Structure 1
Amino acid sequence: MKHEMPMLPYAHEALEPVISRQTIDFHYGKHLQAYINNLNNLIAGTEFETKELTDIVATAPVGGIFNNAGQVLNHTLYFLQFAPKPQSNIPQGKLAAAIDRDFGSFENFRKEFTTAATGLFGSGWAWLSVDKDGKLHITQESNAGNPLRSGFTPLLCFDVWEHAYYLDYQNRRADHLNALWNIIDWEVVEQRWK
């Protein structure tokens, strides 16, 4: 199976000023494309050649195939969770109810999630995911890590690799993370919870 670039549901400049066109051009257009090219080259002729991306991420041993597959999946989830003008700045429905149940309130969840993302040392991802019993979890994953490896379903992610924000925010990771809350498409996030 050949993996391809996900199509963005918005123009490259549509997320400004939160994420600039220049960052989208580099982060999506160059970084993600490189991970996809690398993955396709690495899986050719292996047991992973015909597997779905989520299966590769969940089962591949740590190394080149896993690292590139993880980055393809993580970046795909990341870029597709945004909208220039989301319908709502807060989740609705069962996701909102689960956030209230597991974190006390959306405000508390947002604070805990931002703290996890800001405090992750080095490069990686902050995740909101759900386990098989419907409980929500905030996790930090380094490098290409993904909650699928723990049997969780990933719902929301913040990329804290410097290439995600350095062109727009330099070393101000916290400013970037706080701005991301303005462009989350909560309908997309909730649809990930099957």
Structure 2
Amino acid sequence: MAYETPQLPYSLDALEPYVNTMTMDCHYNGHHKAYVNNLNKALADYPDLAAKSPEELIRDLASVPEKIRTAVRNNGGGHVNHSMFWKMMAPRVGGAPSGKLHEVLKSTFGSFAEFQGKFEAAGLARFGSGWVWLVRNPAGALEVMSTPNQDCPLMERSYPLLGCDVWEHAYYLKYQFRRGDWLKAFWNLVNWPEIEHRFEASGA
């Protein structure tokens, strides 16, 4: 079975005013679908690889033939990243996490506000295109990290809890060159129940 773009859990206009409808349409129907189509094309002659989940593929890129490895890295990573990203956002959410995740963020970063500042700084520091993440690292600790292009923390054995896309296509139609404004607006969209679920599933 070919990979498919997952259905959005909300309408294209649901994240207004923080993500406008045109951005969502281009991002989801343009960019994400292109990653899926290009991944399927790259794996067309490799049915054994195509039978794996996209997460399995990008966790073990060394097992992918060199001829298609870059295509699988870029497009498989793009598919995985965006499939998570849509669920990490929701309309009428934001605020702060609760329970154990909130306590661990405070103990790790000093406060929730300090975590937010570190997350935004890492997103601003990413040169060119990429992502900023809150992950559980291989040692089991929470960490803010950034990845280039469509690389995913899974490629580095870290488990992504929260991610923000800082490619220009994620924000330019609304915020132009003001990436910092996009990162601040993103907090209004964070689906903390989903992030808390990922935190618990990662071994909390």
Could you say whether these structures have the same fold, taking a TM-score greater than 0.5 normalized by the shorter chain as the test?
yes
1:112 to 94, 113, 118: 118
Does 1:55 pair with 2:53? no
2:159 to 135, 153, 156: 153
Give the structure 1 partner of residue 169 of structure 2: 163
Q: Could you tell me how far 1:134 is from its partner in structure 2?
A: 3.0
- SS of corresponding position for 1:158: strand
Q: How well do the aligned residues superpose, as a CA RMSD in angstroms?
A: 1.3
TM-score of the two chains, using structure 2 as the length reference: 0.90
| Distance (whole Å) between structure 2 residues aligned to residue 16 and residue 187 of structure 1 | 20
Query: What are the within-5 Å matches in structure 2 for residues 1-194 of structure 1?
Result: 1-46=1-46, 47-61=48-62, 62-86=69-93, 89-193=95-199, 194=201
CA offsets 1:12-60 (integer angstroms, 9 cap, x no match): 1110110001000000111000000111111123242111111111112
- SS of corresponding position for 1:192: helix
TM-score of the two chains, using structure 1 as the length reference: 0.95
Residue identity in the other structure for 2:24:
I
Residue identity in the other structure for 1:140:
S
C-alpha contact (below 8 Å) 1:125/1:141 kept by paired residues: yes
Point out the more displaced range, 31-40 or 143-152.
143-152
Q: Percent identity?
A: 40
| Distance (whole Å) between structure 1 residues aligned to residue 154 and residue 40 of structure 2 | 21
| Distance (whole Å) between structure 2 residues aligned to residue 118 and residue 67 of structure 1 | 21
C-alpha contact (below 8 Å) 1:127/1:155 kept by paired residues: yes
Count of residues paired in the alignment: 193
Point out the more displaced range, 107-116 or 183-192.
183-192
Residue identity in the other structure for 1:52:
S
C-alpha contact (below 8 Å) 1:5/1:33 kept by paired residues: yes
Q: Could you tell me how far 1:2 is from its partner in structure 2?
A: 2.0
Residue identity in the other structure for 1:53:
P
